Protein backbone atom coordinates (compact mmCIF):
# COMPACT_ATOMS: atom_id res chain seq x y z
CA UNK A 1 0.00 0.00 0.00
CA UNK A 2 1.14 3.54 -0.75
CA UNK A 3 0.44 6.13 1.93
CA UNK A 4 1.00 9.89 1.83
CA UNK A 5 1.18 12.36 4.72
CA UNK A 6 -0.39 15.80 4.54
CA UNK A 7 1.71 18.17 6.70
CA UNK A 8 4.20 17.62 9.49
CA UNK A 9 2.76 20.45 11.59
CA UNK A 10 1.60 17.93 14.21
CA UNK A 11 4.38 16.06 16.00
CA UNK A 12 2.49 12.78 15.59
CA UNK A 13 3.31 12.89 11.88
CA UNK A 14 6.86 11.83 12.69
CA UNK A 15 5.58 8.82 14.63
CA UNK A 16 3.26 7.79 11.80
CA UNK A 17 6.03 8.20 9.24
CA UNK A 18 8.41 6.11 11.31
CA UNK A 19 5.91 3.28 11.71
CA UNK A 20 4.93 3.33 8.03
CA UNK A 21 8.57 3.39 6.90
CA UNK A 22 9.40 0.27 8.89
CA UNK A 23 6.65 -1.86 7.34
CA UNK A 24 7.35 -4.26 4.48
CA UNK A 25 3.80 -4.05 3.12
CA UNK A 26 3.54 -0.25 3.10
CA UNK A 27 5.38 2.51 1.27
CA UNK A 28 5.45 6.07 2.56
CA UNK A 29 5.14 7.36 -0.99
CA UNK A 30 5.02 11.15 -0.60
CA UNK A 31 4.77 14.12 1.74
CA UNK A 32 3.08 17.47 1.23
CA UNK A 33 3.47 20.43 3.58
CA UNK A 34 2.62 24.11 3.21
CA UNK A 35 5.89 24.72 5.07
CA UNK A 36 8.31 23.74 2.30
CA UNK A 37 11.38 23.60 4.53
CA UNK A 38 9.64 21.38 7.08
CA UNK A 39 8.22 19.13 4.38
CA UNK A 40 11.54 18.71 2.58
CA UNK A 41 13.32 17.89 5.84
CA UNK A 42 10.69 15.26 6.64
CA UNK A 43 10.94 13.76 3.16
CA UNK A 44 14.71 13.56 3.49
CA UNK A 45 14.45 12.01 6.96
CA UNK A 46 12.05 9.31 5.81
CA UNK A 47 13.58 8.80 2.36
CA UNK A 48 10.51 9.71 0.35
CA UNK A 49 9.32 12.33 -2.14
CA UNK A 50 8.23 15.84 -1.23
CA UNK A 51 5.51 17.23 -3.50
CA UNK A 52 5.07 20.99 -2.96
CA UNK A 53 1.70 21.24 -4.72
CA UNK A 54 -1.29 19.75 -2.86
CA UNK A 55 -3.28 19.07 -6.03
CA UNK A 56 -0.36 17.18 -7.58
CA UNK A 57 0.21 15.35 -4.30
CA UNK A 58 -3.40 14.15 -4.18
CA UNK A 59 -3.31 13.09 -7.84
CA UNK A 60 -0.30 10.85 -7.19
CA UNK A 61 -0.52 7.07 -6.94
CA UNK A 62 -1.56 6.64 -3.28
CA UNK A 63 -3.99 4.36 -1.49
CA UNK A 64 -4.62 6.67 1.49
CA UNK A 65 -3.44 9.80 3.28
CA UNK A 66 -2.79 10.81 6.88
CA UNK A 67 -3.71 14.41 7.76
CA UNK A 68 -1.44 15.97 10.39
CA UNK A 69 -1.88 19.67 9.69
CA UNK A 70 -2.90 22.32 12.19
CA UNK A 71 -6.41 21.72 13.54
CA UNK A 72 -7.87 24.70 11.68
CA UNK A 73 -6.65 23.27 8.36
CA UNK A 74 -8.16 19.80 8.77
CA UNK A 75 -11.35 20.79 6.97
CA UNK A 76 -9.55 22.04 3.85
CA UNK A 77 -7.22 19.05 3.66
CA UNK A 78 -9.77 16.35 4.42
CA UNK A 79 -12.25 17.68 1.87
CA UNK A 80 -9.51 17.97 -0.77
CA UNK A 81 -8.44 14.38 -0.08
CA UNK A 82 -12.05 13.16 -0.21
CA UNK A 83 -12.57 14.76 -3.62
CA UNK A 84 -9.39 13.02 -4.78
CA UNK A 85 -10.93 9.72 -3.58
CA UNK A 86 -8.21 9.11 -0.96
CA UNK A 87 -9.17 7.33 2.29
CA UNK A 88 -8.18 9.51 5.25
CA UNK A 89 -6.78 9.12 8.75
CA UNK A 90 -7.22 12.51 10.42
CA UNK A 91 -5.48 13.75 13.55
CA UNK A 92 -7.64 14.89 16.44
CA UNK A 93 -9.55 17.03 17.09
CA UNK A 94 -11.43 16.63 13.85
CA UNK A 95 -11.73 20.40 13.36
CA UNK A 96 -11.97 23.69 15.24
CA UNK A 97 -15.61 24.33 14.32
CA UNK A 98 -18.58 21.97 14.51
CA UNK A 99 -19.88 23.09 11.11
CA UNK A 100 -16.47 22.32 9.58
CA UNK A 101 -16.48 18.82 11.08
CA UNK A 102 -19.97 18.13 9.74
CA UNK A 103 -18.94 19.38 6.29
CA UNK A 104 -15.90 17.06 6.33
CA UNK A 105 -18.04 14.05 7.21
CA UNK A 106 -20.63 14.84 4.55
CA UNK A 107 -17.92 15.37 1.92
CA UNK A 108 -16.42 11.97 2.67
CA UNK A 109 -19.90 10.39 2.58
CA UNK A 110 -20.60 11.99 -0.78
CA UNK A 111 -17.33 10.75 -2.26
CA UNK A 112 -17.62 7.31 -0.64
CA UNK A 113 -14.28 7.79 1.14
CA UNK A 114 -13.18 6.45 4.52
CA UNK A 115 -12.65 9.05 7.23
CA UNK A 116 -11.05 7.60 10.36
CA UNK A 117 -10.15 9.63 13.43
CA UNK A 118 -6.82 9.25 15.23
CA UNK A 119 -7.90 8.04 18.67
CA UNK A 120 -5.13 5.51 19.43
CA UNK A 121 -6.14 4.99 23.08
CA UNK A 122 -8.80 2.55 21.88
CA UNK A 123 -5.94 0.21 20.94
CA UNK A 124 -4.36 -0.02 24.40
CA UNK A 125 -4.99 -3.62 25.56
CA UNK A 126 -5.77 -2.50 29.12
CA UNK A 127 -8.38 -0.04 27.82
CA UNK A 128 -9.92 -2.73 25.64
CA UNK A 129 -10.07 -5.02 28.67
CA UNK A 130 -11.83 -2.35 30.71
CA UNK A 131 -14.39 -1.93 27.94
CA UNK A 132 -15.10 -5.65 28.00
CA UNK A 133 -15.49 -5.56 31.79
CA UNK A 134 -17.87 -2.60 31.72
CA UNK A 135 -19.97 -3.90 28.83
CA UNK A 136 -20.22 -7.35 30.40
CA UNK A 137 -22.02 -5.79 33.36
CA UNK A 138 -19.36 -6.96 35.82
CA UNK A 139 -19.30 -3.61 37.65
CA UNK A 140 -23.04 -3.05 37.29
CA UNK A 141 -24.52 0.22 36.09
CA UNK A 142 -21.93 2.94 35.56
CA UNK A 143 -22.67 5.87 37.88
CA UNK A 144 -19.47 7.93 37.76
CA UNK A 145 -16.27 8.34 35.74
CA UNK A 146 -13.13 10.30 36.56
CA UNK A 147 -10.64 10.76 33.74
CA UNK A 148 -7.48 12.70 33.05
CA UNK A 149 -5.38 13.55 30.05
CA UNK A 150 -2.64 15.68 31.56
CA UNK A 151 0.21 16.76 29.34
CA UNK A 152 3.14 19.07 28.86
CA UNK A 153 2.41 22.35 27.07
CA UNK A 154 3.42 21.65 23.44
CA UNK A 155 3.93 25.27 22.43
CA UNK A 156 3.91 26.52 18.84
CA UNK A 157 0.58 26.63 17.06
CA UNK A 158 -1.05 24.46 19.76
CA UNK A 159 -1.29 27.57 21.94
CA UNK A 160 -2.60 29.78 19.11
CA UNK A 161 -6.39 29.76 19.18
CA UNK A 162 -6.75 30.59 15.48
CA UNK A 163 -4.77 27.48 14.50
CA UNK A 164 -5.69 25.04 17.28
CA UNK A 165 -9.22 26.08 18.24
CA UNK A 166 -8.19 26.65 21.85
CA UNK A 167 -5.66 25.39 24.35
CA UNK A 168 -5.49 22.37 26.62
CA UNK A 169 -9.24 21.78 26.45
CA UNK A 170 -9.22 21.62 22.64
CA UNK A 171 -6.25 19.25 22.61
CA UNK A 172 -7.02 16.93 25.52
CA UNK A 173 -10.74 16.59 26.20
CA UNK A 174 -11.25 14.54 23.04
CA UNK A 175 -9.13 11.49 23.99
CA UNK A 176 -10.91 10.82 27.28
CA UNK A 177 -14.30 11.77 25.87
CA UNK A 178 -13.86 9.26 23.04
CA UNK A 179 -13.05 6.52 25.54
CA UNK A 180 -16.06 7.37 27.69
CA UNK A 181 -18.38 7.10 24.68
CA UNK A 182 -16.71 3.94 23.40
CA UNK A 183 -16.59 2.13 26.72
CA UNK A 184 -20.07 3.03 27.97
CA UNK A 185 -22.08 3.50 24.75
CA UNK A 186 -23.40 6.64 26.41
CA UNK A 187 -23.67 10.22 25.23
CA UNK A 188 -23.27 13.57 26.98
CA UNK A 189 -26.38 15.48 28.02
CA UNK A 190 -25.03 18.52 29.90
CA UNK A 191 -21.59 20.12 30.25
CA UNK A 192 -20.14 22.37 32.96
CA UNK A 193 -16.54 23.54 32.65
CA UNK A 194 -14.13 25.86 34.40
CA UNK A 195 -11.01 26.68 32.39
CA UNK A 196 -8.08 28.94 33.23
CA UNK A 197 -4.49 29.87 32.41
CA UNK A 198 -2.23 29.30 35.41
CA UNK A 199 0.97 27.56 34.35
CA UNK A 200 2.17 29.47 31.27
CA UNK A 201 2.04 32.98 29.82
CA UNK A 202 -0.11 32.06 26.82
CA UNK A 203 -3.35 33.40 25.37
CA UNK A 204 -5.29 30.13 25.72
CA UNK A 205 -6.27 27.97 28.69
CA UNK A 206 -3.71 25.54 30.11
CA UNK A 207 -5.87 23.92 32.79
CA UNK A 208 -9.45 23.14 33.71
CA UNK A 209 -12.06 20.67 34.89
CA UNK A 210 -14.95 19.52 32.72
CA UNK A 211 -18.00 17.99 34.42
CA UNK A 212 -20.46 15.98 32.34
CA UNK A 213 -23.94 14.63 32.91
CA UNK A 214 -24.45 11.64 30.65
CA UNK A 215 -27.79 10.65 29.14
CA UNK A 216 -27.81 7.59 31.41
CA UNK A 217 -27.55 9.84 34.47
CA UNK A 218 -23.91 8.98 35.14
CA UNK A 219 -21.57 11.83 36.09
CA UNK A 220 -18.12 12.17 34.52
CA UNK A 221 -15.22 14.56 35.02
CA UNK A 222 -12.24 15.19 32.74
CA UNK A 223 -9.05 17.05 33.66
CA UNK A 224 -7.41 18.02 30.32
CA UNK A 225 -4.69 20.28 31.76
CA UNK A 226 -1.22 21.05 30.42
CA UNK A 227 -0.02 20.57 33.99
CA UNK A 228 2.94 18.24 33.50
CA UNK A 229 6.27 20.00 34.17
CA UNK A 230 9.05 20.06 31.58
CA UNK A 231 11.00 17.54 33.65
CA UNK A 232 8.15 14.99 33.69
CA UNK A 233 9.44 11.70 32.17
CA UNK A 234 6.59 11.40 29.64
CA UNK A 235 4.39 13.77 27.65
CA UNK A 236 1.36 13.04 29.83
CA UNK A 237 -1.21 10.45 30.75
CA UNK A 238 -4.58 8.90 29.99
CA UNK A 239 -6.15 7.61 33.20
CA UNK A 240 -9.72 6.63 34.07
CA UNK A 241 -11.65 5.39 37.08
CA UNK A 242 -15.09 3.99 36.33
CA UNK A 243 -17.47 3.48 39.26
CA UNK A 244 -20.37 1.07 38.96
CA UNK A 245 -23.13 -0.13 41.25
CA UNK A 246 -21.31 -3.46 41.73
CA UNK A 247 -17.67 -2.46 41.53
CA UNK A 248 -14.99 -0.07 40.34
CA UNK A 249 -12.33 -0.41 37.65
CA UNK A 250 -9.29 1.80 37.07
CA UNK A 251 -7.06 1.97 33.99
CA UNK A 252 -3.75 3.72 33.34
CA UNK A 253 -3.09 3.60 29.61
CA UNK A 254 0.66 4.24 30.00
CA UNK A 255 1.44 2.09 33.03
CA UNK A 256 3.58 -0.37 31.07
CA UNK A 257 6.90 1.46 31.14
CA UNK A 258 10.37 1.48 32.63
CA UNK A 259 12.12 4.57 33.99
CA UNK A 260 15.36 5.36 32.16
CA UNK A 261 17.80 7.51 34.15
CA UNK A 262 19.95 9.12 31.47
CA UNK A 263 22.90 10.97 33.02
CA UNK A 264 24.32 11.84 29.61
CA UNK A 265 21.17 13.74 28.62
CA UNK A 266 20.51 14.79 32.23
CA UNK A 267 16.92 13.58 32.12
CA UNK A 268 14.59 10.76 33.15
CA UNK A 269 12.33 9.13 30.56
CA UNK A 270 9.54 6.59 30.58
CA UNK A 271 10.33 3.85 28.06
CA UNK A 272 7.18 1.97 27.10
CA UNK A 273 7.40 -1.79 26.82
CA UNK A 274 3.70 -2.36 26.19
CA UNK A 275 1.76 -2.60 22.96
CA UNK A 276 2.12 0.40 20.65
CA UNK A 277 -1.38 1.91 20.50
CA UNK A 278 -0.53 4.15 17.54
CA UNK A 279 0.71 1.14 15.59
CA UNK A 280 -2.50 -0.69 16.44
CA UNK A 281 -4.54 2.23 15.17
CA UNK A 282 -2.55 2.40 11.92
CA UNK A 283 -2.97 -1.36 11.44
CA UNK A 284 -6.71 -0.98 11.89
CA UNK A 285 -6.88 1.91 9.40
CA UNK A 286 -4.89 0.03 6.75
CA UNK A 287 -6.92 -3.14 7.25
CA UNK A 288 -10.18 -1.22 6.83
CA UNK A 289 -8.94 -0.02 3.44
CA UNK A 290 -7.76 -3.47 2.35
CA UNK A 291 -11.04 -5.08 3.43
CA UNK A 292 -13.26 -2.27 2.18
CA UNK A 293 -15.00 -2.05 5.55
CA UNK A 294 -16.11 1.06 7.45
CA UNK A 295 -13.53 2.53 9.84
CA UNK A 296 -13.72 1.52 13.49
CA UNK A 297 -13.35 5.15 14.61
CA UNK A 298 -15.57 7.33 12.48
CA UNK A 299 -15.75 10.96 11.55
CA UNK A 300 -18.90 11.12 13.65
CA UNK A 301 -16.89 9.94 16.65
CA UNK A 302 -14.64 12.93 16.07
CA UNK A 303 -17.63 15.26 15.75
CA UNK A 304 -19.23 14.06 19.00
CA UNK A 305 -16.06 14.72 20.98
CA UNK A 306 -15.68 18.16 19.37
CA UNK A 307 -19.23 19.02 20.41
CA UNK A 308 -18.20 18.41 24.03
CA UNK A 309 -15.13 20.64 23.60
CA UNK A 310 -17.23 23.49 22.20
CA UNK A 311 -19.83 23.07 24.94
CA UNK A 312 -17.04 23.26 27.52
CA UNK A 313 -15.88 26.59 26.10
CA UNK A 314 -19.45 27.89 26.06
CA UNK A 315 -19.99 26.78 29.66
CA UNK A 316 -16.78 28.42 30.81
CA UNK A 317 -17.75 31.67 29.10
CA UNK A 318 -21.30 31.69 30.45
CA UNK A 319 -20.31 30.34 33.90
CA UNK A 320 -23.14 27.84 33.86
CA UNK A 321 -24.05 24.36 32.69
CA UNK A 322 -25.01 24.07 29.03
CA UNK A 323 -27.05 21.44 27.26
CA UNK A 324 -25.11 19.64 24.56
CA UNK A 325 -26.40 20.31 21.07
CA UNK A 326 -25.75 17.45 18.66
CA UNK A 327 -25.58 17.91 14.92
CA UNK A 328 -27.79 15.54 12.93
CA UNK A 329 -25.82 14.04 10.06
CA UNK A 330 -28.44 11.76 8.62
CA UNK A 331 -27.11 8.56 7.09
CA UNK A 332 -23.33 8.38 7.48
CA UNK A 333 -20.80 5.82 6.35
CA UNK A 334 -17.72 7.55 7.78
Structure confidence by residue, pLDDT tens digits, 268-322: 999 988 899 999 999 999 999 999 999 999 999 999 999 999 999 999 999 999 9
Question: Using 50, 70 and 90 to split pLDDT, how confident is the model at 332?
Answer: very low
Domain locations in the chain as residue ranges: 2-113, 122-274+306-323
**What's the CA angle centered on 294, arms 130 and 175, to 5 degrees?**
40
Rounded Cα distance, 210 and 221, in Å: 5
The CATH code for residues 122-274+306-323 is: 3.30.360.10
The pTM for the full model equals 0.95
Rounded Cα distance, 173 and 307, in Å: 11
| CATH class as words, domain 2-113 | alpha beta
pLDDT single digits (tens) 233-255: 888 899 999 999 999 999 999 99
pLDDT of 230 reads: 87
Integer angstrom CA distances of residue 44 from 2, 40, 58, 303? 17, 6, 20, 35
pLDDT single digits (tens) 169-182: 999 999 999 999 99
Check if the beta carbon of residue 334 is closer than 8 Å to that of residue 109: yes
Bridge partners (DSSP) listed for residue 28 = 3
pLDDT of 32 reads: 98
Q: Quick one: which of 3, 275, 279 has its CA closest to 114?
A: 3
Rounded Cα distance, 297 and 302, in Å: 8
Q: Quick one: which of 293, 304, 311, 297 has its CA closest to 329?
A: 304
54 vs 233, higher pLDDT: 54
Check if the beta carbon of residue 91 is closer than 8 Å to that of residue 307: no
- Give per-residue burial for 15-52: e unless 16+ CB within 10 Å, then b: bbbebbeeeeebbbbbbbbeeeebbeebbeebebebbe
Question: Using 50, 70 and 90 to split pLDDT, how confident is the model at 333?
Answer: very low
Question: Using 50, 70 and 90 to split pLDDT, how confident is the model at 329?
Answer: confident
Q: What is the mean pLDDT of the chain?
A: 96
Contacts 24+ apart (CB under 8 A), 211-214: 212/180, 212/188, 212/308, 213/188, 213/189, 213/321, 214/180, 214/184, 214/186, 214/187, 214/188, 214/189
Amino acid sequence: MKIGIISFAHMHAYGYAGLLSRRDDVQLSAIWDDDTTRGMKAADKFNTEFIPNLELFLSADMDAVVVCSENAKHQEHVIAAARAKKPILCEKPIATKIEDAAEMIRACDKEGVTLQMAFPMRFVPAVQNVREIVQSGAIGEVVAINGTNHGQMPGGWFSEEEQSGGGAAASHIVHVMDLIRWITNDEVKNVYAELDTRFYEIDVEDCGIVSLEMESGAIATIDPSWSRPKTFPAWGDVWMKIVGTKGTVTVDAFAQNSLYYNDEANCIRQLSWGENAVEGMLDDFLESIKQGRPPSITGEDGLRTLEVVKAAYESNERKQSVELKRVSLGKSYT
